[in-house]
Amino acid sequence: MPYILASPCILHPNLRATGITSDEDCAIFSRCIERCSKAGIEIITLPCPETIFFGEGRAPGCFKDRMDFPEFFMLLDRLEATVRQKIAERGEEPLFILGVDSSPTCGATKTYYTEEKSDGAGVFLKRFAEYPLVDVKAFAKSRIYFAGPLFSEAERSFNRRAADILESMHYDVHLPQELDDDAETRGENREKAIYDGNLNALKSADIVVAVIDGADADSGTAWEMGYAAACGKRVIALRTDFRRFSDNECVNLMLEMESEVVHSLEELAELLFVY
């Protein structure tokens, strides 16, 4: 079974320094756990050097002020050896290490090494630099709304192929065509149900991937992109069509300015690959 190593406070937030864990943090931790559960990825928790050294209920502080002395480095040496022994006994390496940015010990890409937050891993995770380090906030953004025209067999087939790729990367994909929408079943009540279902999925999505092929983007897709942009969501525009709207635009300036444009499913996968 594939597995990851994770900062222990993701499963046990009480291990964090007093007063720093918000409701938003707990929601992010829960979504990371849920994503791993759906993907069949086991979570193996790392030891918490700060809790072991200071105990629970410690005050927040940066590494240089509170941990930069020989006894703490000796603890890190012992804990690193323990973790590496567990990896060896398992017989396979972790997919990645899930950290919590800002942590002096378990930050993945940001850390309070000094009183000013800086780029780089925490002092404990830095010892495992051979493995990808992923921050919880990046990994928690796993819900994708896939916007695009869905009115022909070719369009629906392409959408499904794209969704399969994203789902293989452990994203939770909402594909509107799977609401069983077609000309024969549409009626006033059915249209309202389709609209509500898609809008609720759009509201809860972290990322919108939108197909903007054609001489002009599909009107429903353009609406969904605009809504997502107004909500501050990340929007990725997928244009595989080689035609250009102008020398400076692939399709439409207003759509492109609020999105990251990719030109193939391979580029899309590369952009969304988090580890």
What is the predicted pLDDT for the residue at 211?
A: 96
**Alpha-carbon distances of 226 from 150, 170, 208, 220, 242, rounded to whole Å:** 18, 26, 10, 10, 23
Give the pLDDT of residue 73.
Answer: 97
Calculate ∠ Cα 217-223-224, nearest 5°. Answer: 100
Rounded CA separation 18/60 (Å): 7
Is residue 205 within 8 Å of 174, Cβ to Cβ? yes
Q: Domain ranges in the chain?
A: 3-139, 142-272
Looking at residue 28, its pLDDT comes to: 97
Instruction: Give pLDDT, residue 185.
Output: 57
> How many other CB atoms sit within 10 Å of the CB of residue 135?
21
Integer Cα distance of 252 and 246 in angstroms: 9
Domain 142-272 belongs in CATH node 3.30.1370.60: no
- Mean pLDDT per 10-residue run, the chain (275 residues)? 96 93 96 95 97 93 94 98 97 97 96 95 97 97 95 93 95 90 61 90 97 88 96 95 69 82 96 90
Alpha helix segments (H runs only) across the chain: 23-39, 49-54, 63-66, 70-90, 136-140, 153-168, 188-204, 219-230, 253-257, 265-272
Spatial contact of 166 and 138, defined as CB atoms under 8 Å apart: no
Q: Report the sign of the C-alpha dihedral through residues 149, 200, 169, 123, in that order.
A: positive
